[in-house]
Amino acid sequence: MKKLAVILVLSAILTLLIAPYTTSVLATNNNIVVQNTQITTNPQYDRDPSILRATDNTYWLFFARGRDSRQIRDFNGYNPDLDYYDIYYKTAESIPGLEMADETQIPLTPPDNAQRDISALQTKDGIIRVFTSTGLGEGTERSIYHYSYDGSWHGPTLVPGTDYAAHISVLEDRGKIWVFFDVGYKLYLVSYDEATLEWSSPIHLADNATLAKAVVDEGKFYVVWTYVNGVDIWGSGIYLSTSPDGITWESTQNPIAMWTGEGVTNWDPVLIKDKDLFRLYWAPDVGSEGQFLAATTSISPTVETSWSTPVKLTTSSYGENSWWDFWPQPYTNGFQYLFYTSERNATATDRIDGNIWLKLDVHNIYLPLVQR
């Protein structure tokens, strides 16, 4: 009886600690309503978060902050995809603590590169590495660059073999740093051997592809990407490529996920492994009603029909007003966290500048496993 009382008390304490950060309700019509936490509030355009947990248990959240003073998309012709960005970060001992954490800009002179896309990790030598690319944005130095932190910042350093790289994803596995990127709607990777300190030549993964994000699980690479042909098909669905070694690749013949509807396009896919479950997040664009986040799950990701019915995670319009929610960045440590970029205001009624937002789903009901 005493043990039961202790468990009940601990459960009540946990509920009180978490309650300020989230309230989750499973809604109808494949929609999920979850309270959001705004992580950045600067009036400049913040976007494209990347989260890591360092070996000292500190959380590092990196993001790009635009330089253009117009700040709000379409205001006086402002296009955030064509802005130049500086890289900022926050650190905290907990993910909810990132909301109030100070913001710091990487204190180094960037190349002439938009630095719109960011992918960060801590490698096994303890160094925090931040990779960045134009994201098809501005700049004359259009390769991938990376900054490193070992107590002080170094860089930026060019990654060879990545000329005209658009979007990026980075991971560490089997003694190498793997950098995935697209050029001209073709996917490639280069790898850095941490023993020989040498970069590989580019390896081709897939055609008609952009916005790739990679994970590795039990020695197998999984890369999700958006289908485009650069002519008349843009964002028709999310596809998956896999490899046992990073050299030979196979891709699904059909999309593993897509939000359907007239004129709908599908962007910004990202995959995460959560215990035995693969979770896929992406950002469908529905035109005048904005861009929102969606998600699906599978325990057999290479089986195209195994993915659950997609659910809508965010709203992207209110009345005649609409905005973009995009670039989801999931993280799991028992709870499901989802960082993303949103142009919504605090009450989700109108568009403002871009900011970084966070969802926390304590009950893990974002993505019910409903197999087709």
Scored b (16 or more CB within 10 A) or e, 165-190 reads: bbbbbbbbeeebbbbbbbbebbbbbb
Asked whether the CA dihedral 178, 115, 342, 210 is positive or negative, the reply is negative
20-361 belongs to CATH 2.120.10.10:
yes
pLDDT of residue 18: 41
| Cβ 182 vs Cβ 166: under 8 Å | yes
pLDDT of residue 369: 35
pLDDT of residue 3: 45
Instruction: State residue 135 phi and psi, 5-degree precision.
Output: 65, 30
Place of tokens 């999309």: 255
pLDDT of residue 35: 65
Cα 312 from Cα 320, distance rounded (Å)? 19
Cα 70 from Cα 73, distance rounded (Å)? 8
Residue 100: C-alpha distances to residues 41, 103, 122 (Å): 11, 9, 23
Q: Using one digit for the tens of pLDDT, what is the confidence trace for 196-233?
A: 999 999 999 999 999 999 999 999 999 999 999 999 99
Report the candidate in 88, 75, 82 with the shortest Cα–Cα distance to residue 42.
Answer: 88
Cα 3 from Cα 1, distance rounded (Å)? 5
* DSSP 8-state secondary structure symbol assigned to residue 261: S
Instruction: State residue 3 phi and psi, 5-degree precision.
Output: -65, -40
Cα 315 from Cα 325, distance rounded (Å)? 8
| Cβ 309 vs Cβ 249: under 8 Å | no
Burial class (CB in 10 A: 0-12, 13-18, 19+), 264: middle
pLDDT of residue 4: 44
Under-50 pLDDT residues of the chain: 1-33, 362-363, 365-372
Phi and psi based region of residue 361 (left: phi greater than 0; alpha: psi -120 to 50; beta: remaining): beta
Report the candidate in 327, 263, 316, 308 with the shortest Cα–Cα distance to residue 289.
Answer: 316
Place of tokens 């309503």: 33
Q: What one-letter code names the amino acid at 162?
A: T
* Cβ count near 338 (within 10 Å): 27
| Cβ 278 vs Cβ 297: under 8 Å | yes
Cα 285 from Cα 326, distance rounded (Å)? 9
Q: What one-letter code names the amino acid at 226?
A: T
pLDDT of residue 36: 85
What torsion do the CA atoms of 190, 116, 328, 187 make, to the nearest 10 degrees? -30
Report field, pTM of the whole predicted structure over 0.85: yes
Give domain limits for the chain: 20-361
Residue 372: C-alpha distances to residues 274, 296, 303 (Å): 20, 11, 11
Q: Using one digit for the tens of pLDDT, what is the confidence trace for 85-117?
A: 999 999 999 999 999 999 999 999 999 999 999
